């Protein structure tokens, strides 16, 4: 999935757009510039969301401690080694990623969870090495 396809999917679904916009709000507004729209926010969030959904998974698919451990081990390493290639400050990526994690952890509505699971599946189809492999743990 490319960034433009991600933008289309997310823009059409408030269950996805809301948490992503909230997470992007953790990044100082001068990063985006004045009057920037939803598309620019989604461009920032696309690589973050893609990594979280395909390499870490959704919080409700894990026991809380396991998810916390996965997050700590995987996300921080990704920010340090990969995100700089995207041209955005690692501190900003860290802030947006942490904010998205918190937003995802708040989701309890089954319909909203289903929307995120569908997005994770779409992102996971990119390649076998980037697929989401989390197993459901009650």
Extents of the domains making up the chain: 3-126
User: Alpha-carbon distance 21 to 44, whole Å?
Assistant: 10
Question: What is the pLDDT at residue 126?
Answer: 58
> In terms of C-beta distances under 8 Å and separation of at least 24 residues, what long-range contacts does 106-115 make, across chains too?
106/19, 107/19, 107/59, 107/60, 109/15, 111/15, 112/15, 113/58, 113/60, 115/13, 115/15, 115/16
From first to last of the 138 residues of the chain, give the pLDDT tens digit: 788 888 889 889 999 989 998 888 887 665 544 444 566 677 778 888 999 889 988 888 888 888 888 888 888 888 887 766 766 678 888 888 889 999 999 999 999 999 999 999 998 875 443 333 343 333
Question: What is the pLDDT at residue 83?
Answer: 67
Question: What is the pLDDT at residue 106?
Answer: 92
Q: What is the C-alpha end-to-end distance of the chain, expressed in Å? A: 30
User: Alpha-carbon distance 62 to 98, whole Å?
Assistant: 17
């Amino acid at each position: 999935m490319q960034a433009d396809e991600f933008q289309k999917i997310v823009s059409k679904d408030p269950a996805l757009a809301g948490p992503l916009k909230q997470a992007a709000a953790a990044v100082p507004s001068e990063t985006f510039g004045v009057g920037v729209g939803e598309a620019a926010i989604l461009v920032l969030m696309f690589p973050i969301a893609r990594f979280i959904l395909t390499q870490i998974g959704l919080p409700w698919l894990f026991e809380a401690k396991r998810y916390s451990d996965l997050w700590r081990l995987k996300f921080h390493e990704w920010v340090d080694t990969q995100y700089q290639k995207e041209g955005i400050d690692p501190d900003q990526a860290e802030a947006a990623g942490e904010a998205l994690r918190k937003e995802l952890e708040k989701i309890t509505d089954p319909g909203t969870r289903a929307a995120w699971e569908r997005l994770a599946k779409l992102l996971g189809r990119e390649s076998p090495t980037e697929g989401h492999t989390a197993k459901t743990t009650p």
